[in-house]
Amino acid sequence: MGGTCCLNLNMTQQEQIENTKTFVKETLKHAEGGHDWFHILRVYKNALLISKKEEVDGFVVQLGALLHDIADSKFHDGDETVGPKLAQDFLTRIHVEKDVIEHVVNIIENISYNSSLDPSKTFKSPELDVVQDADRLDALGAIGIARTFNYGGFKNRALYNPDILPDLNMSKDVYKKSTAPTINHFYEKLLLLKDLMNTKTGKLIAEKRHEFMMLYLEQFYAEWEGEK
């Protein structure tokens, strides 16, 4: 972080992207495995792929993808202001234009699933659509399963408890405070994402990853019951 205070005012957008990658990688070097630099890198790659078929500002998409989880509120006592503030301060230091900074901050403030449960969140843009889809794709499929159980282990949650049913009507506050078994998270969020995708490319990829997760759950329950 210390090397960004006096950067060239004439820095190109590509140089700003590269500096952002360095900043994010350093900031998240001790992050939980499902929300670390490699998560960011996967979302970044997803966003680039989706952007090929969308009319978007590629610079905003790249910065939004790189900074979307710079300080996830889950790891900051639920404080949703930390990430946007950290991103804004960093982008200001590397002399990104003010309108771009504002757009990226709006993406960070509105990208999460729990934001979709908040009726006060009304910001929309094609760039948010792309970054949101890119992030949601990383919650699906084989990696989505791995991340879900990694986080469940991090929070010392039960794998599964058939006596605790998924809550499909949670408010934002209830969702954020949930301590339910990890398998419940499939029904409370992951399996809902397929129908929440914004872009055509996102929808197509999500369908395949959704199918894989359904197969996984079928196998999980069979093994739980000693049937396979």
pLDDT tens, N- to C-terminus, the chain (228 residues): 334 444 445 689 999 999 999 999 999 999 888 889 999 999 999 999 999 999 999 999 999 999 999 966 565 666 678 889 999 999 999 999 999 999 999 999 999 887 776 677 778 999 999 999 999 999 999 999 999 999 999 999 999 999 999 998 877 677 777 889 999 999 999 999 999 999 999 999 999 999 999 999 999 999 999 998
Per-residue pLDDT, 78? 60
| CA distances from residue 179 to 2, 162, 166, 199 in whole angstroms, order as listed | 38, 15, 11, 31
Determine contact, residues 115/101, Cβ cutoff 8 Å.
no
CA atoms of 30 and 33, how far apart (whole Å): 9
Mean pLDDT, the chain, rounded, equals 90
What is the number of alpha carbons within 13 Å of residue 157 lying toward its C-beta?
Answer: 20
Give the global pTM: 0.88
As a dihedral over the C-alpha atoms of residue 91, residue 92, residue 93, residue 94, rounded to 10 degrees, the angle is 50
* Cβ neighbours around 217 below 10 Å, total: 16
**Residue 143 tokens, joined:** 């990696």
As assigned by CATH, the class of the 11-224 domain is: mainly alpha
Per-residue pLDDT, 3? 42
Per-residue pLDDT, 145? 98
Per-residue pLDDT, 10? 64
Residue ranges of domains in the chain: 11-224
* Cβ neighbours around 162 below 10 Å, total: 10
Buried b / exposed e along 127-139 (16+ C-beta atoms within 10 A): bbbbbbbbbbbbb
What is the number of alpha carbons within 13 Å of residue 69 lying toward its C-beta?
Answer: 27
